[in-house]
Amino acid sequence: MEVRYLKLVRAIVEAGTLAKASESLYLSSSALSHQLKEIEAQLDTPLFERLGRTLVLTPAGRRIKGLADDVLGRMDQAEADVRGQGVGAGVIRISTECYTSYHWLPPLLKAFQGLYPGVDVQIVIEATHHPLPRLLEGDLDAAITSDPVNDPGLVYHELFRDEMVALVPSDHAWVGRRYVEAQDFADQTLIIHSLPLETVSIHQYVLAPAGVRPRKLTVLPLTEAEVALVKAGMGVTVMARWALKPYLRDRGLKTIRVGAQGLRRTHYLAVRRELGTPGHLKAFLEFLRTEVRTPGEKHRV
């Protein structure tokens, strides 16, 4: 039996449905369904039975799931052992320019330290919003940013791209429009995570270049609280689509694209050029490059 089939069975069990499993495996639902039929045809027995929309293992399926756990577990451990060779102990002090990054970063750090227990990764919260100056000053070893500055002392490594969208209540005047522009914010209360305003993407890339200021600013550092204010009709906010995904099941909320082409960002891991790439930092960079996806789509942790 091919390893990909074992991964497929494990993914279906963990996800519970074909649709969710297809997302985690980067396959269409039809492709995943076809591969499942291939496995069952090879074994000449069903591995799952349907209970509503949920897939439940048959006795044969439980046997294959046990095999998958054993084989894939051994493979993961072997990979971790190999990857850990040659990586010495070290400390990586890291910060980001936005608090929303702390939604997805900690699980990745936990996974990294499981592979490299000799590397101590420390989040420097107080450097948030100003990670690049702190990186240049030597207070950090790495910084996650979507706003690179042209400085010969820094090197940037691309991690992922995302899109910022406006969140509004379902009865807002913007609902039904394909997109909004800078001028549309002039009569709105804009809810933002934090100050200074220069670090806020919608201000930096859309409003400031157009000379537009919202009617009112509300600063609220909690995503859940921002969403609650929006739903109550007390303002609009703009944040990454992946950060809003858990809240969009609520029919009282709608998202609107910002600009005809969308407001898109590229996120980078920045390091100081003078450091070179010591083994533990190189391992961290390669781990992020391998494991990071656009956060709303998937993190393999």
143 and 188 co-located in one domain = no
Report if residue 299 sits inside a domain: no
Digit-coded pLDDT (tens) for 205-223? 999 999 999 999 999 988 8
Range of the domain at 94: 90-159+272-291
pTM higher than 0.85: no
State how far the Cα of 193 lies from the Cα of 211, in Å rounded to an integer: 21
106 and 71 co-located in one domain = no
Report if residue 110 sits inside a domain: yes
State how far the Cα of 79 lies from the Cα of 215, in Å rounded to an integer: 54
20 and 30 co-located in one domain = yes
Digit-coded pLDDT (tens) for 36-77? 899 899 999 999 888 877 788 999 999 999 998 888 888 876
Report if residue 300 sits inside a domain: no
Digit-coded pLDDT (tens) for 80-134? 655 555 556 789 999 998 777 777 888 888 889 888 888 999 999 999 888 999 9
15 and 58 co-located in one domain = yes
CA distances from 43 to 15, 36, 46, 63, 209 (A): 22, 11, 8, 12, 62
Residue 124 is part of a domain; what is its CATH number?
Answer: 3.40.190.10
59 and 96 co-located in one domain = no
State how far the Cα of 269 lies from the Cα of 131, in Å rounded to an integer: 11
Domain's final residue, options 84, 107, 136: 84
118 and 39 co-located in one domain = no
205 and 127 co-located in one domain = no
pLDDT surpassing 60 at residue 265: yes
User: For the ranges 96-110, 171-185, 227-241, 253-267, which has the lowest average pLDDT?
Assistant: 96-110
Find the angle CA(296)-CA(72)-CA(78) to the nearest 5 degrees.
105
Mean residue pLDDT across the chain: 87
Contact 32, 18 (CB under 8 A): yes
Number of structural domains in the chain? 3
Residue 32 is part of a domain; what is its CATH number?
Answer: 1.10.10.10
146 and 284 co-located in one domain = yes
101 and 174 co-located in one domain = no
Digit-coded pLDDT (tens) for 148-157? 999 999 999 9
How many Cβ atoms from other residues are within 10 Å of residue 226's Cβ? 24
Report if residue 301 sits inside a domain: no
